[in-house]
Structure 1
Amino acid sequence: MSKRDYYEVLGVARNAGDDDLKKAYRRCAMKHHPDRNPGDAAAEAAFKECKEAYEVLADANKRRAYDQHGHAAFEHGMGGGGGGPGYADMGDIFGDIFGNIFGGGGGGGARAPRRGADIGYVMELSLEEAVGGIEKQIEIPTLDACDTCEGSGSADGKVESCTTCGGRGQVRFQRGIFSMQQTCPHCNGRGQSIANPCADCHGQGRVERTKTLSVKIPAGVDNGDRIRLTGEGEAGPTGSPPGDLYVEVRVREHEIFQRDGDDLHCEVPIRISQAALGDTIRVPTLGGEVELRIPGETQSGKLFRLRDKGVKSVRSRKPGDLYCRAVVETPVNLTPEQRELLEKFEATFVGEGARKHSPRSSTFLDGVKGFWDRMTS
């Protein structure tokens, strides 16, 4: 079968410039590219034909020889400059035209199989769950390996060498004295192609589904901590390695405790009489109630430290502390008897002697007096 005229193949005039040739080739190759026409032998033949035409016409020496002698210029050793149109690997011209269209890129060597994407998941926990550890089941929408073809993408399990790169995963092209190679745009560097794609995954080797996983959260995790589950991310295309799943911990606010690293903080309300006379009260911890001794004359805001009653670190396993802040409450809903007793108690605070019972008040009043003295002087 005689070859068609190369200018006719690309649909350009014989005096077409380099830019016109490149645009015509891009248009022709995109139309007939095997990735767009899987299993179509006619499209593959047309793709090779337009590639061959561009390879000749884009080279000044070859184009000159073709214009003078036609296809005969490349028969029986004519034409020079490296032989006929088929002297290079398929895809020689892809470096500058299809590098960004079909996934190719510069650089040497075959590209490693493209792994699946990583997945992020935010898990909300109560403080008790974060401190004590827990195992939870989660559901994740993801791309998982196709069961029908076992992730290969092939309906019959057969995978062939890529016809574009000959199974090497890379193609080579030459410009003058420079020879470069890049990832094969047809097989994306895998070096293989699928002749009979799986009907369920359309040759991709993966399908959309919701996956249920059991995640073990270690004791002591905190806000922002991430747990990595290797290989539980999205499946890679056509059998390539899967990505990972990252579970990020978010701890809900607690009604009693505030966490600061491995330490816990809480406020403990006490009555005026307990603050003045002292008392032993019971306070909550994450491990149950414990006794806390309140010494006499305790002021509101005083901080008490309970050692090792905080959070056991997920890293060092050393427990933090619990800090209890005393908050003296003003009594409400007084009975007549209680009000009478308080009035009698208040009546005892008279004269200059009353100041020794209220150290903070005395300091405050002295400060106020000094302030006004400075203002009026």
Structure 2
Amino acid sequence: MSSTEGFRADWANKDFYNQLGVKKDASAEEIKKAYRRLARANHPDSNPGDAAKHDKFKSVAEAYDVLGDPEKRAKYDEMRKLYAGGGFRGGFPGGYTNTGTAGGGGVGFDLNDLLREQASRGGGFGDLFGDLFRGGRQQPRRSQKGSDVETTATIGFNDAIEGVTISLRLTADSPCADCKGTGGKPGTKPKVCPQCEGAGFVTGSAGGAFAINETCPGCGGRQLVYDEPCPTCHGNGRGLSARTIQARIPAGVKDGQKIRLRGKGAAGENGGPAGDLFVTVKVSPHRLFGRKGDNLTIDVPVAFDELALGADIKVPTLGGAPVTLKVPAGTPNGRTFRVRGKGATKADGTKGDLLATLEVQVPAVLDAKARAAVEAYQAATAGKPLRSKLFEEA
């Protein structure tokens, strides 16, 4: 039967009157006073680290959720009476026959009578017990993961290739350091919020027959208030905290790449895990080397004769011993040589290559001997104009 959704039989076994320390015929005012007294004495903000009082506060809040509401209290009393008489021992809800009579050997009663009575008030079985066992008041806030934090870090070219550990100073929202998140002036005593009466929420209309629960504006959902607010956070319980962490930037990181560091973000709420830290890496340029994907690049100056006659040319590598390029005779200007394994570290741990591009350098000044040699070469090649094809194609 779908109308029993949310049923919690364990509530029928709990004595909420005993938990609040009041008699079953206690007045609403007596119940409220008992709750306030116990909530104040056992509230987690007033007893940090005391697990026993934290559990007591939860049980007191649970009891007041029911007994503090006249309609819920009446339904709870009715349910307790039925349970004590065996009305639910036949296997609720499957222990009821199609006629609504309790089965399984329990004390029988006509369930349809209850349904007809509730229907005459415009409700059904779910209205009769649903709000009681689902709880109409705000439940304790669940643990929540902290917010993610983003920052930017600038590292050197060599550090990007080899990997580096850097220090990051972060500023994030956190509980106020002076009041420990309570919002009250240190040394002052809290009291139950008069606006929500310690529930942590207020009920507002959503239009028509619907109502919604909203965080109490008086206490911000903390259930307690202080006559004197914390002078540091002005009563909101939040502040900014600065901390320095060590972050490992992996080898091979690229300029503009975003690194995710799990658990290094803002602290979680109510025991929840911390968020993540996202670091956008900016890489400073190098005087000699460039980068193309996982490969490093370098422009190597050469003389005309080295390309024309061939030569062995030494080329530096980043952070390693130089390598020798064997340049064949007649190599054209601008040719790129590939040196395997001398590039940046890849994601799989292997390395890219070094791409060395040869660039002929024309001397700005020639001495007499060099000029004579160049003029002799010019005379020897005078019959082979290099630009003749330009005019043929034009």
TM over 0.5: yes
Query: In the alignment, does 2:357 pair up with 1:325?
Result: yes
Contact 2:141–2:270 (8 Å) recurs in 1: no
Q: In terms of mean alpha carbon deviation, does 230-239 or 204-213 score higher?
A: 230-239
Amino acid corresponding to residue 172 of structure 1 in structure 2: T
Match of 2:163 in 1: 133
User: CA deviation digits over 1:200-241, x for unaligned, max 9?
Assistant: 434444434543222221211112222334554456789987
Match of 2:73 in 1: none
Contact 1:131–1:219 (8 Å) recurs in 2: yes
Contact 1:205–1:238 (8 Å) recurs in 2: no
- Please give the alpha-carbon distance, in whole angstroms, between the structure 2 residues aligned to 1:175 and 1:292: 79
- Please give the alpha-carbon distance, in whole angstroms, between the structure 2 residues aligned to 1:236 and 1:163: 29
Amino acid corresponding to residue 300 of structure 1 in structure 2: N
Gaps of 5+ in 2: 1-120, 123-137
Query: In the alignment, does 2:344 pair up with 1:311?
Result: yes
Amino acid corresponding to residue 299 of structure 2 in structure 1: E
User: CA deviation digits over 1:261-307, x for unaligned, max 9?
Assistant: 21112211111111111111111221322111111111111111112
Amino acid corresponding to residue 307 of structure 1 in structure 2: R
Query: In the alignment, does 2:368 pair up with 1:368?
Result: no
Counterparts of 1:77-96 in structure 2 under 5 Å? none
User: CA deviation digits over 1:298-334, x for unaligned, max 9?
Assistant: 1111111112211112x32232111111111112322
Match of 2:246 in 1: 214
- Please give the alpha-carbon distance, in whole angstroms, between the structure 2 residues aligned to 1:173 and 1:210: 39
Counterparts of 1:27-66 in structure 2 under 5 Å? none
- Please give the alpha-carbon distance, in whole angstroms, between the structure 2 residues aligned to 1:301 and 1:325: 6
Match of 2:323 in 1: 290
- Tell me how far 1:253 sits from its aligned partner: 1.6
Match of 1:44 in 2: none
Contact 1:235–1:242 (8 Å) recurs in 2: yes
Query: In the alignment, does 2:375 pair up with 1:343?
Result: yes
Query: In the alignment, does 2:283 pair up with 1:245?
Result: no
Contact 2:204–2:214 (8 Å) recurs in 1: no
Query: In the alignment, does 2:288 pair up with 1:256?
Result: yes
Q: Provide closer, same or farther for how the CA distance between residues 161 and 297 of structure 1 changes in structure 2, counting only shifts above 3 A.
A: farther
Counterparts of 1:106-255 in structure 2 under 5 Å? 118-154=148-184, 155=186, 163-165=194-196, 169-174=200-205, 177-186=208-217, 190-195=221-226, 197-230=229-262, 232-233=264-265, 244-255=276-287
Q: Provide closer, same or farther for how the CA distance between residues 240 and 307 of structure 1 changes in structure 2, counting only shifts above 3 A.
A: closer
- Please give the alpha-carbon distance, in whole angstroms, between the structure 2 residues aligned to 1:176 and 1:251: 56
SS in 1 for 2:246: strand
Contact 1:227–1:248 (8 Å) recurs in 2: yes
- Tell me how far 1:129 sits from its aligned partner: 0.8
- Tell me how far 1:162 sits from its aligned partner: 5.1
SS in 2 for 1:284: strand
Match of 1:272 in 2: 304
- Please give the alpha-carbon distance, in whole angstroms, between the structure 2 residues aligned to 1:133 and 1:210: 26
Q: Provide closer, same or farther for how the CA distance between residues 247 and 175 of structure 1 changes in structure 2, counting only shifts above 3 A.
A: closer
Q: How many residues align?
A: 256
User: CA deviation digits over 1:171-213, x for unaligned, max 9?
Assistant: 4344675213143242687453343644443444443454322
Q: Provide closer, same or farther for how the CA distance between residues 282 and 201 of structure 1 changes in structure 2, counting only shifts above 3 A.
A: same
- Please give the alpha-carbon distance, in whole angstroms, between the structure 2 residues aligned to 1:189 and 1:163: 12
- Please give the alpha-carbon distance, in whole angstroms, between the structure 1 residues aligned to 2:339 and 2:206: 76
Contact 2:193–2:219 (8 Å) recurs in 1: no
Match of 1:56 in 2: none
Q: Provide closer, same or farther for how the CA distance between residues 291 and 174 of structure 1 changes in structure 2, counting only shifts above 3 A.
A: same
- Please give the alpha-carbon distance, in whole angstroms, between the structure 1 residues aligned to 2:391 and 2:354: 37
Contact 2:314–2:323 (8 Å) recurs in 1: yes
- Please give the alpha-carbon distance, in whole angstroms, between the structure 2 residues aligned to 1:187 and 1:324: 70
Q: Provide closer, same or farther for how the CA distance between residues 325 and 200 of structure 1 changes in structure 2, counting only shifts above 3 A.
A: same
TM-score w.r.t. structure 1 length? 0.57
Identity, in percent, stands at 33
User: CA deviation digits over 1:135-166, x for unaligned, max 9?
Assistant: 12233344454444444445359776655455
- Please give the alpha-carbon distance, in whole angstroms, between the structure 1 residues aligned to 2:336 and 2:290: 14
- Tell me how far 1:124 sits from its aligned partner: 0.9
- Tell me how far 1:127 sits from its aligned partner: 1.0
User: CA deviation digits over 1:44-101, x for unaligned, max 9?
Assistant: xxxxxxxxxxxxxxxxxxxxxxxxxxxxxxxxxxxxx99xxxxxxxxxxxxxxxxxxx
SS in 2 for 1:339: helix
Gaps of 5+ in 1: 1-80, 83-107, 356-360, 372-377
Amino acid corresponding to residue 308 of structure 1 in structure 2: G
- Tell me how far 1:244 sits from its aligned partner: 4.2
SS in 1 for 2:307: helix
RMSD of aligned Cα (Å): 3.6
User: CA deviation digits over 1:118-142, x for unaligned, max 9?
Assistant: 4432111111011111112233344
- Please give the alpha-carbon distance, in whole angstroms, between the structure 2 residues aligned to 1:237 and 1:341: 81
